[in-house]
């Protein structure tokens, strides 16, 4: 394949930046080829034509396997031409051998964002009523598209429509961002002012188990997670309030994320309290 304005050579030294990292912004199609390969020369014009048609939306690069043995091994290139499409830092589609134009076109089309993705991406850059309109349009295209669900749910929650936001988030229970926002909303429902916190502390000192859970949840709602965990994990030891206390602790873990230092510290403490 001869270089063009839209197709460039990538080496082992530049592959990570030009392909893996670049594909996090937009898809990259990689042609593993060699100058002596006849089928490679047959495929080259089709890839070049596709690169021109999809310029600005899909990048196309080529890797000479004669000078990239490590890459060939890493990506299991067993025959050439080998075409591999990267998106989000990983291979998402591929084929081997000279293919007809229809196959090449299908590969490129499969990399293009869906209507829901396009609208949600536009919404993320918009503000105000236009942002909400775009998120709703994205959900009209795909009712369970996670970025649109979470984006719209946050808008709804910010203006006080918490129940509507939680109902929307229930469409994508497996999505990490949706779980995190749901946990935020659950904790936020327990917000208390200083006088109410003082009253809760008094009830805790009086030995009221349920007040301990309320206090921990209220502290969590205020973002005082360390204090909240101290109160809630202690409450887990009481069988009468264990379920509620554990649920509040897990909400804090969800909000902060699995890799958070506070979560790593308190997760084994929660386990010890439970067992």
Q: Give the pair of three-digit tokens for residue 191.
A: 């917000």
* Residue 46 is a catalytic residue: no
Q: Which SS3 state, helix, strand or coil, does residue 63 take?
A: strand
Inter-residue contact 94 to 84 (CB < 8 Å): yes
Contacts of 30 (CB under 8 A, 6+ apart): 10, 19, 61, 62, 63, 83, 84, 85, 86
C-alpha span between 178 and 116 (Å, rounded)? 17
Catalytic residue among 28, 30, 37, 183: 37
Element (H, E) at 129: helix 128-141
- Angle in degrees, CA 138, 179, 139, rounded to 5: 10
Q: How many C-beta atoms lie closer than 10 Å to residue 89's C-beta?
A: 14
Q: How many C-beta atoms lie closer than 10 Å to residue 4's C-beta?
A: 14
Q: How many C-beta atoms lie closer than 10 Å to residue 18's C-beta?
A: 19
- Helices and strands, counts by H and E, the chain: 14, 5
Catalytic residue among 1, 7, 10, 40: 40
Q: Give the pair of three-digit tokens for residue 41.
A: 């020369």
* Residue 189 is a catalytic residue: no
Which active-site residues does the annotation give? Answer: 37, 40
């Amino acid at each position: 394949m001869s270089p063009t304005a839209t197709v460039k050579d990538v080496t082992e030294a530049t592959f990570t930046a030009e392909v893996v990292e670049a594909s996090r912004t937009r898809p990259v199609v990689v042609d593993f080829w060699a100058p002596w390969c006849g089928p490679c020369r047959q495929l080259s014009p089709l890839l070049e034509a596709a690169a021109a048609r999809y310029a600005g939306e899909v990048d196309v690069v080529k890797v000479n396997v004669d000078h990239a043995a490590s890459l060939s091994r890493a990506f299991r290139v067993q025959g050439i031409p080998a075409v591999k499409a990267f998106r989000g830092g990983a291979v998402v589609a591929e084929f081997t051998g000279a293919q007809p134009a229809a196959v090449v076109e299908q590969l490129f089309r499969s990399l293009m964002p869906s209507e829901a993705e396009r609208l949600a991406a536009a919404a993320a850059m918009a503000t105000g009523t236009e942002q909400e309109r775009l998120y709703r349009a994205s959900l009209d295209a795909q009712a369970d598209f996670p970025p649109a669900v979470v984006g719209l749910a946050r808008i709804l929650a910010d203006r006080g429509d918490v129940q509507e936001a939680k109902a929307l988030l229930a469409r994508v229970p497996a999505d990490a961002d949706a779980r995190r926002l749901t946990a935020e909303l659950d904790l936020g429902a327990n917000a208390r002012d200083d006088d109410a916190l003082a009253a809760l502390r008094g009830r805790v000192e009086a030995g009221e188990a349920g007040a301990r859970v309320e206090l921990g949840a209220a502290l969590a709602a205020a973002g005082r997670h360390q204090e909240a965990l101290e109160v809630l994990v202690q409450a887990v030891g009481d069988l009468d309030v264990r379920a509620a206390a554990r649920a509040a602790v897990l909400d804090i873990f969800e909000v902060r994320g699995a890799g958070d230092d506070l979560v790593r510290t308190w997760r084994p403490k929660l386990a010890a309290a439970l067992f």
